[in-house]
């Protein structure tokens, strides 16, 4: 084995071990044994376990980032569904060992490891923005994408512990949550709203977005929801009328102005009433 080959082999073996167990449960001896090498030989290539850990994390980061690559073809939600399939597959095979690191409680966390994690998050964000194909994404949209990535991370880490839903459901839900987050952002940003029509027009009825739309439409058949939402959309409710949005007022049956324990501050969005 050449020097380079041996180095690569040691990293591959270390990645395999570090993917299954937390770093404190993997020793240099374990790595040497799995690689069919001696302990001094491992030390010849790497100064210690932390260096080997960081190198294997770097390798994992590159593998994961490569899974984000997806052709710019077809409905957006289906592209994201495929990416999430590959991502969740990665989480299943490498997640157990790196969970503590991502949760922030790993003994092996360092400036080096967080740089790798940040790079992966950035790669995910840039891929998604590239697929959205919006020339200059607003700060709000960038934040939406970043927050959704955090959602995907934490959701899949929690899933590793509980496995409370089938993996395919998790995959679908994450994609649908992205569609919802995108729609919410568009509701605040007219420039993005102008793009949203063509996004929906490209979607298929049996894809994640089509299924989401029908699931949400199904909610309106549940008693009470349609009436309540219609009232909110009209800007009035049966229990409390008189809001500054409609300007419609009258004798409210509710002595307290619409819905606040702190009447005066309530309607400011900054309603951060100190207790």
- Residue numbers 67-86 binding its own copies by CB under 8 A: 67, 69-75, 78-79, 81-82, 84-86
Question: Could you give the C-alpha distances from 119 to 57, 123, 144, in angstroms and in order?
Answer: 12, 6, 18
Pick one of 40, 198, 250, 253: the residue that binds its own copies (CB under 8 A): 198
**Site residues for its own copies, window 108-127 (CB under 8 A)?**
109, 111, 114-115, 117-118
Q: How does DSSP classify residue 249?
A: -
Pick one of 32, 35, 57, 102: the residue that binds its own copies (CB under 8 A): 102
Pick one of 147, 160, 182, 255: the residue that binds its own copies (CB under 8 A): 147
**Site residues for its own copies, window 8-37 (CB under 8 A)?**
none
Pick one of 47, 169, 250, 253: the residue that binds its own copies (CB under 8 A): 169
Pick one of 41, 93, 180, 182: the residue that binds its own copies (CB under 8 A): 180
What CA–CA distance (Å, rounded) separates 177 from 186?
A: 14
Whichever of 41 and 193 has its CB closer to its own copies, that residue is 193
**Site residues for its own copies, window 203-232 (CB under 8 A)?**
203-219, 222-225, 227-229, 231-232
Write down the H helix ranges in the chain: 3-20, 28-35, 39-45, 49-67, 76-103, 111-132, 139-162, 167-188, 190-202, 208-219, 225-234
# chain residues binding its own copies, by CB under 8 A: 124
Whichever of 48 and 197 has its CB closer to its own copies, that residue is 197
> First CA to last CA across the chain, in angstroms?
68
What CA–CA distance (Å, rounded) separates 57 from 23?
A: 11
What CA–CA distance (Å, rounded) separates 99 from 203?
A: 34
């Amino acid at each position: 084995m050449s020097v380079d080959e041996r180095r690569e082999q040691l990293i591959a073996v270390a990645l395999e071990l570090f993917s299954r167990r937390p770093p404190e449960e993997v020793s240099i001896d374990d790595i040497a044994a799995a690689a069919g090498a001696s302990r001094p030989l491992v030390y010849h290539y790497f100064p210690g376990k932390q260096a080997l850990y960081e190198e294997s994390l770097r390798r994992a980061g590159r593998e994961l980032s490569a899974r984000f690559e997806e052709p710019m073809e077809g409905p957006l939600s289906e592209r994201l569904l495929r990416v999430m399939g590959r991502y969740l597959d990665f989480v299943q095979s490498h997640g157990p060992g790196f969970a503590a690191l991502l949760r922030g409680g790993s003994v092996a966390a360092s400036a080096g490891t967080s740089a790798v994690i940040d790079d992966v998050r950035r790669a995910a964000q840039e891929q998604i923005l590239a697929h959205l194909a919006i020339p200059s994404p607003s700060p709000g949209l960038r934040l939406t994408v970043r927050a959704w990535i955090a959602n995907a991370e934490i959701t899949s880490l929690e899933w590793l512990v509980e496995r409370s839903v089938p993996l395919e459901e998790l995959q679908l839900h994450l994609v649908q949550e992205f569609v919802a987050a995108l729609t919410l952002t568009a509701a605040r940003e007219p420039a993005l709203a102008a793009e949203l029509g063509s996004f929906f027009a490209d979607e298929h009825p049996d894809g994640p977005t089509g299924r989401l739309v029908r699931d949400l439409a199904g909610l309106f058949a549940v008693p009470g929801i349609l009436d309540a939402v219609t009232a909110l959309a009209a800007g009035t409710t049966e229990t409390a009328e008189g809001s500054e949005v409609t300007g419609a007022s009258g004798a409210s049956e509710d002595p307290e102005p619409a819905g606040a324990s702190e009447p005066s501050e309530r309607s400011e969005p900054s309603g951060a009433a100190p207790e």
